[in-house]
Amino acid sequence: MATKIYVPCDTTALSMGADEVARLIEYHAGQKGVEIEIVRNGSRGLFWLEPLVEIETATGRIGYGPVEPDEVPGLVAAGLFDARSDHPLYLGSVADIPYLKRQQRLTFARIGITDPLSIADYRALGGFEGLGKALAMTPQAIVDEVKTSGLRGRGGAAFPTGIKWQTVYDEPGQQQKYIVCNADEGDSGTFADRLAMECDPYMLIEGMAIAGLAVGATQGFIYLRSEYPVAHSILEEAISRAESEGFLGANIRGSGQAFHLEVRLAAGAYICGEETSLLESLEGKRGLVRAKPPLPAIKGLFGQPTVVNNVLSFAAVPFILDQGGQAYADYGMGKSRGTLAIQLAGNIRQGGLIELAFGVSLKEILEDFGGGTFTGRPMKAVQVGGPLMAYMPHSQWDTPMDYEAFAKLGAGIGHGGVVVFDDTVDMGAQARFAMEFCTVESCGKCTPCRIGSVRGVEVIDRIRAGENPDANLVLLEELCETMVDGSLCAMGGMTPFPVQSVMKHFPEDLTA
């Protein structure tokens, strides 16, 4: 029988040469007359090991990584096809790698194991069980299950998903309702949405279909950022296969219930991750933020009741329906229930995706998982939760990952991205960048954000040039307060957070 060899196909593995590695492995197998079958699986999210090549053996999957194309001939010579251990890239049993083994993977349980587009693989590991159960439940019972889970939106605002669904469900029936997936993932340091879509697309499809059943919506849209071409092609293919096997479409699994799904490509505007701006964009307009109320749950896409959720919020739903809301709620701490997808990035030795119950400390993530910086230098600052969130100094790294604990520090978890900087970072430049980013990405609707950010860049430049630093620091603080208080949405309202964190924790870098 042909030996199964896995070579991942997610963006990160591809960015490190996975296609070339797969081609070379095939070529060398041909040369040696070894019969192999190459499976393009998803990535396990252990990105410092990508491309991570795995060989199926009688005792489980054996890994080698990171395998750069140049390494393939040496690996083959050292017994790759027999899963031999005498090569420096040999990792042993992949499932036993501590980084992976220590995680609590509920949402990402299948990631990297399966061929993302194989419905058979998906079902073999519990896929579509949740949908099957939902089809036999009343809509209210589905909503209740999600409420029991305690799931809070993973897109950043952490609003309870069950309550959002209830609001849409409670709107009168007999009208078009929509399910919209926010797949705009614009925050630097985040890639969990991408990984979920590229490596387990049916999980998102299943979660959205369940949402449709729950609130009585027959049409869904995935608003996908244009920066994700690989996710785009995988989603398109997955949707078409799910339709042909009856998991989507006019009559889901013969139930008489309908749910249609379409991917819509965004066009490179960070603000379109904000849900009302996203809806404007989906309607074919400029992505200007709408004032709330009305909530999208009541007047959303094309003025109709709409559920807008992040990819990971939908992705958590199949588990919740399959195993029960309580099984999900059993993980976590305080009011942060279930698991968090932590994305470790930037200047870090072992960057990747870590799924753990809420409550793990930032320090454990940085040290135990991350293994220190990539450059080997001391860490200086960590930005958690994307470009609108605070830079956290050493003294705050004991904080447990919990929405309330972070909020108390004036920080946030956002979408779970953790970006690490070593001691060569110039925090003044980072503060300036926060304002600059806002000038580029502001939707332009309100003055504090549109103009304030331009002034912010100028004031920081003056401070850094040594022009009246004291007076300009006061001015900067006032400007930040105006933006926080006077902006319509979090773009202008939170841009000051990274700036203020630099003023507070790294003042010497700003005035140096």
Partner 1 sequence: MHMAEQINQPPVASRGAATGDWTPDMIREEVVALKHKPGALLPILHAVQNRVGYIPEGAVAIIAEALQQTRAEVHGVISFYHHFRTHPVGSKVIHVCRAEACQAMGGRDLEAHIKSRLGVDYHGTTADNEFTLEPVYCLGNCACAPSIRVNDNIHGRMTPQKFDRLADKLTTATLEIR
Ligand X SMILES: Cc1cc2nc3c(=O)[nH]c(=O)nc-3n(C[C@H](O)[C@H](O)[C@H](O)COP(=O)(O)O)c2cc1C
Report the site for partner 1 in 125-164 (rule: CB under 8 A): none
Cβ count within 10 A of residue 178: 23
Looking at 174-303, list the stretches that DSSP marks H as alpha helix, in order from N- to C-terminal side. Answer: 192-199, 201-215, 229-244, 275-282
Whole-number Å distance between alpha carbons of 204 and 165: 16
Whole-number Å distance between alpha carbons of 355 and 338: 10
291 binds partner 1 (CB under 8 A): no
289 binds ligand SF4 (CB under 6 A): yes
487 binds ligand SF4 (CB under 6 A): yes
Q: Is 254 exposed, middle or buried (0-12, 13-18, 19+ CB in 10 A)?
A: exposed
Q: Which of 449, 490, 503, 510 binds ligand X (CB under 6 A)?
A: 490
Q: Which of 41, 149, 309, 487 binds ligand X (CB under 6 A)?
A: 309
354 binds partner 1 (CB under 8 A): no
- Could you tell me if 212 and 259 are in contact, meaning their C-beta atoms sit under 8 angstroms apart? yes
**Residues in 426-445 that interact with partner 1 by CB under 8 A:** 429-430, 433, 437, 440-441
208 binds ligand X (CB under 6 A): no
Cβ count within 10 A of residue 285: 10
Q: Are strands 3-6 and 36-39 parallel, antiparallel or unpaired?
A: parallel
Residue 121 or 274: the one with the smaller Cβ distance to ligand SF4 is 274
Burial string for 366-383 (b: 16+ CB within 10 Å, else e) reads beebbebbbeeeebbbbb
Query: Could you tell me the smallest distance in angstroms from the CB atom of residue 154 to partner 1?
Result: 16
Residue 289 or 405: the one with the smaller Cβ distance to ligand SF4 is 289
Residue 119 or 329: the one with the smaller Cβ distance to partner 1 is 119
Residue 259 or 270: the one with the smaller Cβ distance to partner 1 is 270
**Residues in 419-458 that interact with ligand SF4 by CB under 6 A:** 442-446, 449-450
- Could you tell me if 13 and 25 are in contact, meaning their C-beta atoms sit under 8 angstroms apart? no
Query: Could you tell me the smallest distance in angstroms from the CB atom of residue 168 to partner 1?
Result: 18
Q: Which of 150, 155, 207, 216 binds ligand X (CB under 6 A)?
A: 155
448 binds ligand X (CB under 6 A): no
492 binds ligand SF4 (CB under 6 A): yes
Residue 114 or 161: the one with the smaller Cβ distance to ligand X is 161
Cβ count within 10 A of residue 190: 24
Beta partners for residue 392, in sequence order: 382
Which span (20-28, 213-221, 345-353, 486-494) binds ligand SF4, by CB under 6 A? 486-494
Taking CB within 5 to 8 Å according to partner kind, which of ligand SF4, partner 1, ligand X, none is near residue 107?
none
- Could you tell me if 337 and 358 are in contact, meaning their C-beta atoms sit under 8 angstroms apart? yes
Q: Find, among 185, 182, 175, 176, the residue nearest to 161 by Cα.
A: 182
Whole-number Å distance between alpha carbons of 16 and 20: 9
Give the binding site for ligand X (CB under 6 A). Answer: 153-157, 159, 182, 184-186, 271, 273-275, 308-310, 313, 489-491
Give the binding site for ligand SF4 (CB under 6 A). Answer: 271, 289, 442-446, 449-450, 487-489, 491-492
